[in-house]
Amino acid sequence: MHVAEPIVWTSEGVVMIDQRRLPAELVHLTYTDYREVANAIRDMVIRGAPAIGVAAAMGVALGVVRSPARSLAELRAEFPIICSTIAQTRPTAVDLFWAIERMKRRFDEAAATSDIDAVRTAMAAEAQRIHEEKKATDEAIGHFGAALMPENGHVMTQCNAGALATAGIGTALGVIRIAIEQGRKLHVFVPETRPYLQGARLTAWELHEAGIPLTLITDNMVGHFLKTGDVGAVVVGADRIAANGDTANKIGTYQIAVLARENSVPFYVAAPISTLDLTISSGETIPIEQRAATEVTHLHGVRIAPDVHVANPAFDVTPARLIAGIITECGIARPPYVESLTLLARLRASGDVVHPVAR
Ligand code: MRU
């Protein structure tokens, strides 16, 4: 099956697929400056929580590797500026902050014992390690989640939680991929995901490239198909999951969860442990990114609405009570999430990804 590679670390710089131009064109951009990587995250060249984390790690590494600093002291002075530039890009996906914290820890370790060249090497290696870990994480999520998918029939997703969004095989789409590889006969309903159209532009493209059967629907068809479309499960990704299981994901996810409950369809969230934010007790305090009004009033530069007041929150929060399970690389958390998520986070902290196939 075809798997897109949205980001790669190379000797020339950080290479990304420009996701703004999909599906019309597959264009790669090469970044040699950490400030450009920050702009790429902000401008949605790369998006999706885990992929944003990988981009953040590579952005920090790029800043260190290409820094003009001539001594460790100069590099130490510049490092916080690099990190805060990357941090001030998108507020909701916690993977961004998780990746920066991890890069900070590695910097401190390396700078305590090594010279400037070794610190540069260590930071580049750490960013690539985070990327490799994301791939392993997705595989494990996929294997745990595949068992929850129906043997045949329809499943539904939201936004894009595929390879483009994670830099692995995808979280929600990784679950669907592995389920199909294991022989399940699935057909995916893909809501277009207004206003940014990640479903229509990216998920439809990814599934089509991988040869996975799909039906693209508009967002206002979700209720109709959950009622009449023989949907066996909904599986979505996440941008930030609070300690109680409340989950921020792409705008429109909450209404899908409500309609899934109304129609007795199990609603699952697939996300790595790095997407958990156990420092917040509920979804009420998750910061929600507000995006430009033009994303709602314009389509490809053409005005489709009058010049009126517009709201454009990029994410909503699905209450934990609507979520049947949270699929992670260490297993499936079930309610009550306060206990199960804490347990899985501890398991993750104590070692490597628990791969269900290898167990
Ligand atoms: O605004 P985006 O495109 O970055 O939002 C992406 C989503 O909401 C995804 O569903 C989420 O990040 C999970 S990606 C595996």
pLDDT at res. 229: 85
Q: Which residues pair with 14 in a beta bridge?
A: 9, 31
By most ligand atoms within 8 Å of CB, the mutation choice from 20, 47, 96, 158 for ligand 1 is 47
pLDDT per residue as tens digits for the range 61-118: 999 999 999 999 999 999 999 999 999 999 999 999 999 999 999 999 999 998 999 9
pLDDT at res. 359: 34
Closest approach atom of ligand 1 to CA 202: 3
Q: Is 142 in the pocket of ligand 1 (CB under 6 A)?
A: no
CA distance 14 to 11: 8
- List every span in the chain annotated with CATH 1.20.120.420: 7-138
By most ligand atoms within 8 Å of CB, the mutation choice from 198, 203, 317 for ligand 1 is 198
CB atoms within 10 A of CB 194: 17
Q: Is 164 in the pocket of ligand 1 (CB under 6 A)?
A: no
Closest approach atom of ligand 1 to CA 250: 8
DSSP code string of 57-118:
HHHHHHHHHT---SSHHHHHHHHHHHHHHHHSS-SS-HHHHHHHHHHHHHHHHHHHHS-HHH
CATH 3.40.50.10470, domain 142-349, yes or no: yes
Max CA separation in the chain (angstroms): 66
Gap from CA of 21 to ligand 1 centroid (Å): 17
Nearest to 345 by CA among 279, 253, 250: 279
Q: Is 13 in the pocket of ligand 1 (CB under 6 A)?
A: no
Q: Which residue has the tokens 């454009």?
A: 312
CA distances from residue 328 to 81, 115, 203, 234 in whole angstroms, order as listed: 33, 38, 21, 16
Which of the residues are catalytic? 239
Gap from CA of 247 to ligand 1 centroid (Å): 12
Q: Is 272 in the pocket of ligand 1 (CB under 6 A)?
A: no
pLDDT per residue as tens digits for the range 237-259: 999 999 999 999 999 999 999 99
Q: Which residues pair with 299 in a beta bridge?
A: 302
- List every span in the chain annotated with CATH 3.40.50.10470: 142-349
Amino acid at 230: D
pLDDT at res. 353: 57
Q: Is 171 in the pocket of ligand 1 (CB under 6 A)?
A: yes
Q: Is the pTM of this model over 0.85?
A: yes
Nearest to 127 by CA among 275, 276, 9, 6: 9
Q: Which residues pair with 7 in a beta bridge?
A: 16
Q: Is 251 in the pocket of ligand 1 (CB under 6 A)?
A: no
Q: Which residues of the chain have pLDDT under 70?
A: 352-359
How many CA atoms lie less than 13 Å away from 249 in the CB half-sphere?
34
Task: Return the structure tokens found at 161.
Answer: 């939680």
By most ligand atoms within 8 Å of CB, the mutation choice from 250, 275, 277 for ligand 1 is 250
Closest approach atom of ligand 1 to CA 159: 10
Task: Return the structure tokens found at 16.
Answer: 């990304």
55 and 41 Cβ atoms separated by less than 8 Å:
yes
Q: Would you say the C-alpha torsion 98, 136, 48, 281 has a positive or negative sign?
A: negative
CATH of 7-138, picked from 1.20.120.420, 3.30.70.360, 3.30.1490.20, 1.20.1630.10, is 1.20.120.420
Q: Which residue has the tokens 């997705």?
A: 138
Gap from CA of 353 to ligand 1 centroid (Å): 22
pLDDT at res. 218: 98
